[in-house]
Chains A and B, each alone.
Chain A
Amino acid sequence: MNEILSIKDVYAAYGDLTVLERINLEVKEGEIVLVLGSNGAGKTTLLRTISGILQPKKGQIYFLGRRIDGLPPYEIVNLGISYVPAEGGIFPKMSVMENLDMGTYVTKARKKKGERLHFVFQLFPILRERKDQLAGTLSGGERRMLSIARALMSLPKLLILDEPSFGLAPKVVSELFKAIEQINNEGTTILLVEQNARQALTVADRAYVLENGNVVLEGNSNEIANNPLVKKAYLGM
């Protein structure tokens, strides 16, 4: 399989506060890759750096062989990376449909809008029912679905999800993970950050463990799930 994303020796900081120290990470086409780590380990910073919200201090990021570090977020979206933040990710004062329209803002997605709509409505049928409602009036779970759907509208090759289960009830979380698998089966590569280690490890192919801005562990999901350190710190065993 080809590498779709590769991160080489990346350092990132907020002001003078270093958050990522020499991160190396790669994602192959078609995979679901999970990043685990405690609060403050630098997971969100990593995702923000990939999506261009934050510029890395040092290091390189390649997407499909092209160097993307230093590009602004809107160009990175155009290349095929969609980032779904843990909170937000929707325009509350626009209708569900308008939010999905904004998802097709990138030129190449505009032509395939109908096809894509069909896919996301099949993935999250509730959004079809709510399509004329203002996004701000949706429930927490529906908002999360909309933010993922919006990101999918732009035909991403790589979908980056920051804690999709954040703040959701367990039942909704299970549905969401099913959807994530379905998105992956349809051909989209996924990079996922989760605190909900158990469920995330069941869908992921491989995982990285981040601590204090460093990758301390990597491997396929089974190895990671059976690692004594992970068991103790993330699985509560």
Chain B
Amino acid sequence: MLELIIDGITFGLLLSLLGVGITLIFGLGEILNLAHGEFAVICAMLALIFMERGVNTLLSIILGLLITGLIGLALERSLISLVYRARGETRILLGIFITFGLSLAIHSYLVNTIPKAFFSVKLPFEAIRIGGLIIRPSTLLSAVISVLALVLLEVFLKKTYTGKAIRAIAQDEMDAQLCGVNPAPLRTLVFILGAVMAGLAGILYGLIATVAVIIGVDFTLLALIVAIVGGVRSIYGNILSGVILGIVHTIASFFLGAYLSLVILLSVTIIIILTRPEGILGEKG
């Protein structure tokens, strides 16, 4: 049971990495990125391609993350920046449809070109025993890297001028401009950051399980749930909800099977949306 909880926490931290990206991108540009989970798959597949060409694993992963960031940059500058031209509700709708289309296109492309690709990383270490507890080093490593990434993000947002400016835009874009902040480059930066963190989540998932090309949609969905439950504008909320949902998901999957666990997660999400949307979002109706 304790092992299940540890697995759940590790998985939950990955979800937080994904959810935080959704939160930041939505906070800055009001775009709900329905293609977010695909970045995780793209990154894992890129790393896989390099690894198959004989590139060293660590370097493959770094290259994968870099290219994922570049893809994020390209998409933001081309497609997403077109969405920013619209205002208010139209922008939100447009964002939903465009990223929905994007996710379909990426998903379909990957499924058609490399249907049999699977990414996973095996560590050359033995499982660690602490008392009666068996911990896989890959689980441990995945959790440590996730926490590290989230802490770094938090430090960046809290301590640097750029990070503060990002938080300022999320609260009131016009007001941030009145402090001298130019929002456009920061929106691009955040989109890239989101893509890379999603990519990292994909790589780390490869440590604890296997990344298949079809998994992007599930990642997106889980990330959305994390973001909604944790609050579309709150990073701490995201981490907390990620961990809780990760534990619930892992335990429910173990005892009830994968499909019912997803049904339970989604039902919980629906209930949360219906009971306290403004509390989570900080948005008034």
The reply to whether A and B meet directly (CB within 8 Å) is yes
Interfacial residues, chain A to chain B (CB-CB below 8 A): 51-53, 72-75, 77-78, 82-83, 85, 88-94, 98, 101-103, 105-106, 110, 150-151, 154
Question: Which residues of the partner chain B approach A85 to less than 8 Å between Cβ atoms?
Answer: 175, 178
- Please tell me if the beta carbons of A77 and B180 are within 8 angstroms of each other in the complex: yes
Determine the chain B residues whose CB is within 8 A of the CB of A75 once the complex forms.
Answer: 182
Q: Would B175 and A105 count as touching, CB distance under 8 A?
A: no
Partner of B171, one of A72, A77, A93, A150: A93
Q: Cβ of B180 and Cβ of A78 under 8 Å apart?
A: yes
B155 in the interface (beta carbon within 8 A): no
* A101-B164 CB under 8 A given contacts A73-B174, A88-B172, A93-B171: yes
Docked CA distance A33–B177 (Å): 24
Q: Is A94 a contact partner of B177 (Cβ separation < 8 A)?
A: no
A-side contacts of B171, CB under 8 Å: 91-94
Q: Which residues of B approach A to under 8 Å, CB–CB?
A: 161, 164-165, 167-168, 171-172, 174-182, 282
Main secondary structure of the interface of B (DSSP, over half): helix
A151 to B165, CA, bound (A): 15
Q: Are B177 and A74 in contact (CB under 8 A)?
A: yes
Q: Contact between B167 and A105 (Cβ–Cβ < 8 Å)?
A: no
Contact pick for B168, options A78, A82, A91, A110, CB 8 Å? A91
- A157 vs B167: C-alpha distance when bound (angstroms): 27
Expressed in whole angstroms, the Cα–Cα distance for A94 and B166 within the complex equals: 12
Q: Which residues from B are CB-within-8-Å of A52? A: 177
List, in ascending order, chain B residues with CB within 8 A of A82's CB. 178
Determine if A94 and B167 form an interchain contact, defined as CB atoms under 8 angstroms apart. Answer: yes
Q: A53-B174, A73-B174 are in contact. Are A103 and B179 (CB under 8 A)?
A: yes
Known contacts A91-B167, A94-B164, A94-B167: A102-B172 contact under CB 8 Å: no
B residues less than 8 Å from A77 (CB atoms): 177-180
Contact partner, B178, options A83, A94, A98, Cβ 8 Å: A83
Instruction: Please give, as numbers and ranges, the residues of chain A lying within 8 Å of B175 by CB-CB distance.
Output: 85, 88-91
Give the docked Cα–Cα distance between A93 and B237 (Å): 14
B181: chain A residues at CB < 8 Å are 74, 102, 105
> Which residues of the partner chain B approach A154 to less than 8 Å between Cβ atoms?
179-180
- 18 residue pairs from A and B, CB less than 8 Å apart: A53-B174, A53-B177, A53-B178, A72-B177, A72-B182, A73-B177, A74-B182, A82-B178, A88-B172, A90-B175, A91-B167, A91-B171, A91-B175, A93-B171, A102-B179, A105-B161, A110-B161, A154-B179
Q: Using Cβ atoms and an 8 Å threshold, which residues of chain B touch A89?
A: 175, 178
Question: How distant is the Cα of A154 from the Cα of B161 in the complex, in angstroms?
Answer: 14
Nearest chain-A residue to B174 (Cβ)? Answer: A53
Once A98-B164, A105-B161 are accepted as A-B contacts, the answer to whether A150 and B177 lie under 8 Å apart by CB is no
